[in-house]
């Protein structure tokens, strides 16, 4: 045994394992060095754990192998067992490795060393034996608890076009489209007619049961699993489908196989976990031939059988996904249609935030062009310079989401009031007096019944924000809410800096290019995007509650010593009483 290959941290770990050894908990037995890894054999005393029906079945003493790699203490030790008794139990990886840390990045503290690791191991067994693990939510539970991805292989994006997945073994063909070098989309299923231009065929395999030892490394591994779960007939059906799909490909393409693996602890389409593999088309024939000679899990692979590459399946099916913002105010915008007027320092960012929040349609209105100077704080790029803002921003928004319809309408924002407005809300980010007048006239006349959100920032720092939200009623106009907010500020000296919204000339504007640009407010991208972000969240809060109100707010880094948020609710009143 060559302990000289161990680094200082591993040597310390070995000494700690010996020092902390106890027959009442974890007893050190011996160790070996394999390559650069320290492998310690220990006995775990399980007699003191509470046993609950459905929990991990254990003997009085369980033999474990603790593996300490050269990356310790930056990475925690691993724990292996020399049997398959715990295969398919939650947080047991491929039947032999215990997942002591679901997220080592946040759960493992290198400073705790072996003592902290042993404490975590003890807690893991306490939870497992007491049946406190949930197999319905355990990470990658149906596929051995491990992540299937080969470095360098592309991502396959799946959504509801895959169709419903139902119980029972099934083979189907899927239609795939190469989106980029790194991305492939599933665009159809069970394609009978001609494929769309640029599309190609893959295979979907719906399994009858899970893969507790993972997906394996070869096509024959999947064929063996199919036979074990079902019969030779299904195995032959699988091989025939693979062969047919491969014949439809060119020599420079890959055969993609999507595998839907059921979690028996879930129901419906949500119970299927998706993994994917691929083989270069020229190697498929060899893989099929090798598969034909292998029928049992214990039988060896052919020397020339090619290994599959695992593609990451980016699963966007409705049945299994929850938006990360589903519980936040901006979720109000999901599925909405928005008119956004003004694609500048606030509007360009607000448009992006709305698209990321899930709007289905957004109409952009602006008269301007992208210039180099605007790149300082607007979300355009060098390649956008010289383009209409609405066109450049439309391309950016379309690149963010496939699910949004973006329409650019160059010209005056007021043109949006000339006909029927097919939108759930209007965002006015123009800071344009003419636009404000047009909005007020339309609201007062009763021709604008759509909620309007108006937003601006201060001239001096771009760290203060003003926001007004109407509900679409005739008597409560944007101008009236603005007046109410102004009155609230005028009566409170502590709100003095907010007076800048009504006294803009008290703070000199910035002229970015002498003689060539209109003066504008001072501020950075960090300032403008912060104001835009807060405006979107506040607007969503008010719209979600059906409130007509105004907000004054300050970014956390604002140099102005004012309250960070002031809400001014304004009540509806009969039209004839409006002054």
Of the candidate ranges 282-286, 376-380, 488-492, the one whose mean pLDDT is the lowest: 488-492
* pLDDT score, position 504: 72
Torsion of the alpha carbons at 136, 137, 138 and 140, rounded to the nearest 10: 90
pLDDT score recorded for residue 514: 52
365 has a pLDDT exceeding 50: yes
CB-based burial, 271-309: b 16+ in 10 Å, e otherwise: bbbbbbbbbbbebbeebbebbeebeeeeeebbeebbbbb
The confidence score (pLDDT) of residue 343 equals 98
Helix (H, G, I), strand (E, B) or coil at 57: coil
Q: Per-residue pLDDT for 298 more than 80?
A: no
Secondary structure (H, E, C), 167-208: CCCEEEEEEEEECCCCEEEEEEECCCCCCCCCEEEEEEEECC
| Average pLDDT score over residue span 526-538 | 97
422 burial via Cβ count (<10 Å: 0-12, 13-18, 19+)? exposed
Q: What is the pLDDT of residue 26?
A: 98
Instruction: Give Cβ neighbours of residue 11 (< 8 Å, ≥ 6 apart).
Output: 3
Residue 510: its pLDDT value, please? 56
Q: Which of 452, 473, 437, 476 is nearest to 539 (CA)?
A: 452
* Burial class of residue 325 (count of CB atoms within 10 Å of its CB; 0-12, 13-18, 19+): middle
pLDDT at 257 > cutoff 50: yes
Give the pLDDT confidence score for residue 475 in this predicted structure: 78
Measured CA to CA, the distance from residue 559 to residue 120 in angstroms comes to 46
Strand 425-428 and strand 452-457: the pairing is parallel
Weakest mean pLDDT among 86-95, 430-439, 501-510: 501-510
Most confident of 20-34, 155-169, 177-191, 469-483: 20-34
246-258 mean pLDDT:
97
Higher pLDDT, residue 547 or 576: 547
pLDDT for 571 equals 81
Q: Is the pLDDT of residue 491 over 90?
A: no
Residue with tokens 């039209």: 575
Q: How confident is the prediction for the chain on average, in pLDDT?
A: 93
At 575, the pLDDT band (50, 70, 90 cuts) reads: very low
Asked whether the predicted pLDDT for residue 511 surpasses 70, the reply is: no
* Pairing outcome for strands 405-410 and 425-428: unpaired
Predicted local distance difference test score (pLDDT) of residue 347: 98
Mean pLDDT, residues 434-453 taken together: 94
Specify the pLDDT at position 12: 97
520: helix, strand or coil:
strand
CA distance 239 to 227: 11
Residue 10 scores a pLDDT above 60 = yes
Residue-level pLDDT at 295: 73
* pLDDT reported for residue 522: 80
Among the residue ranges 18-22, 138-142, 336-340, the one predicted with the least confidence is 138-142
Q: What is the pLDDT of residue 91?
A: 97
Percent of the chain surpassing pLDDT 90: 84
- Contact between 440 and 432 under an 8 Å Cβ cutoff? The reply is no
Do 498 and 464 contact (CB within 8 A), yes or no? yes
Q: What angle do CA 463, 467, 472 make, to 5 degrees?
A: 165
Please give the pLDDT value at position 2. 65
Question: Could you read off the pLDDT of 345-359 as tens digits, one per residue?
Answer: 999 999 999 999 999
Query: What does the pLDDT average to over 509-523?
Result: 62
pLDDT in tens, 62-74: 999 999 999 999 9
CB atoms within 10 A of CB 5: 14
**Res 439 pLDDT > 90:** yes
Compute the average pLDDT of residues 326-355. 98
Token pair, residue 455, equals 């937003």
Q: Average of pLDDT values for 552-569?
A: 95
Residue 527 DSSP label: H
pLDDT of residue 518 exceeding 90: no
Domains of the chain: 3-133 (3.10.110.10), 155-315 (no CATH), 329-572 (3.40.50.720)
Band of residue 419 on the pLDDT scale cut at 50, 70, 90: confident
Q: Confidence class of residue 411 from pLDDT cuts 50, 70 and 90?
A: very high
If you count DSSP H runs as helices and E runs as strands, how many of each does the chain have, helices first? 11, 21
Give 4's pLDDT tier (boundaries 50, 70, 90).
confident
Query: Average pLDDT of 233-237?
Result: 91
Sign of the alpha-carbon torsion through 459, 460, 463, 467? negative
CB 498, CB 466: distance < 8 Å = yes
Q: What's the number of CA atoms in the CB half-sphere (13 Å) around residue 523?
A: 32
Joined tokens for residue 414: 């007021």
**Cβ atoms 386, 369 nearer than 8 A:** yes
What pLDDT score was predicted for residue 577?
36
Distance of CA 508 to the CA centre of its chain: 43
Per-residue confidence (pLDDT) for residue 122, from 0 to 100: 98
pLDDT score at 578: 38
pLDDT tier at 111, thresholds 50, 70, 90: very high
- Contact status, residue 194 vs residue 210, Cβ threshold 8 Å: no
Spatial distance between the Cα atoms of 248 and 175, rounded to a whole number of angstroms: 12
HEC-encoded secondary structure of 80-104: ECCCCCCCCCCCEECCCEECCCCCH
The whole-number average pLDDT for the span 229-242 is 90
């Amino acid at each position: 045994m060559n302990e000289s290959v161990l680094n200082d941290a591993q040597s310390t770990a070995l000494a700690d394992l010996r020092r902390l050894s106890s027959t009442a908990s974890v007893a050190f037995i011996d160790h070996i060095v394999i390559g650069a890894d320290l492998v310690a054999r220990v006995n775990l005393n399980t007699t003191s754990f509470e046993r609950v029906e459905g929990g991990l079945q254990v003997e009085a003493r369980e033999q474990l192998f603790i593996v300490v790699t050269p990356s310790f203490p930056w990475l925690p030790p691993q724990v292996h067992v020399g049997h398959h008794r715990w295969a398919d139990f939650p947080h047991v990886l491929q039947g032999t490795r215990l997942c002591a840390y679901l997220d080592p990045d946040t759960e493992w503290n290198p400073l705790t060393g072996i003592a902290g690791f042993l404490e975590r191991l003890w807690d893991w067994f306490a939870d497992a034996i007491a049946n406190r693990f949930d197999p319905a939510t355990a990470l990658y539970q149906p596929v051995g608890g491990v992540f299937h991805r080969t470095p360098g292989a592309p991502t396959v994006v799946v959504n509801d076009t895959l169709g419903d997945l139902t119980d029972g073994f099934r083979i189907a063909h899927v239609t795939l489209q190469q989106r980029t070098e790194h991305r492939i989309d599933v665009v159809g299923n069970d394609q009978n007619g001609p494929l769309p231009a640029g599309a190609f065929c893959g295979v979907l395999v719906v399994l009858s049961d899970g893969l507790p030892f993972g997906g394996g490394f070869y096509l024959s591994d999947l064929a063996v699993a199919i036979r074990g779960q079902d019969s030779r007939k299904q195995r032959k059906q699988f091989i025939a489908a693979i062969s047919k799909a491969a014949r439809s490909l060119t020599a420079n393409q890959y055969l993609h196989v999507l595998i839907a693996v059921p979690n028996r602890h879930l129901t419906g389409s949500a119970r299927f976990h998706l993994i994917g593999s691929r083989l270069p088309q020229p190697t498929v024939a060899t893989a099929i031939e090798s598969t034909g000679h292998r029928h049992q899990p214990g039988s060896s692979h052919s020397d020339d059988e090619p290994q599959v590459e695992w593609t990451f399946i980016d699963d966007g099916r409705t049945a299994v996904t929850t938006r990360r913002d589903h519980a936040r105010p901006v979720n109000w915008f999901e599925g909405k249609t928005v008119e956004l007027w003004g694609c500048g320092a606030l509007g360009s960012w607000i448009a992006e935030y709305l698209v990321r929040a899930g709007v289905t349609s957004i109409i952009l209105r602006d008269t301007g062009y992208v210039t180099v100077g605007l790149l300082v704080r607007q979300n355009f790029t060098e390649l956008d310079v010289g383009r209409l803002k609405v066109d450049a921003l439309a391309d950016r928004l379309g690149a963010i989401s496939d699910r949004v319809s973006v329409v650019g309408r160059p010209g005056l924002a007021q043109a949006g009031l000339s006909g029927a407005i097919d939108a759930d809300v209007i965002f006015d980010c123009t800071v344009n007096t003419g636009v404000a007048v047009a909005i007020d006239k339309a609201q007062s006349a009763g021709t604008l019944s759509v909620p309007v959100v108006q937003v601006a920032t201060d001239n001096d720092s771009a760290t203060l924000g003003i926001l007004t939200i109407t509900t679409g009623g005739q008597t409560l106009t944007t101008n009236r809410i603005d007046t109410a907010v102004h009155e609230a500020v005028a009566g409170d000296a502590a709100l003095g800096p907010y007076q800048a919204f009504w006294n803009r000339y008290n703070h000199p504007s910035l002229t970015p290019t002498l003689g060539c640009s209109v003066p504008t407010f001072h501020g950075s991208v960090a300032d403008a995007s912060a104001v835009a972000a807060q405006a979107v969240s506040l607007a969503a809060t008010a719209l979600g509650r059906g409130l007509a109100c105004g907000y004054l707010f300050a970014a956390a880094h604002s140099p102005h010593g004012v309250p960070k948020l002031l809400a001014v609710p304004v009540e509806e009143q009969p039209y004839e009483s409006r002054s």
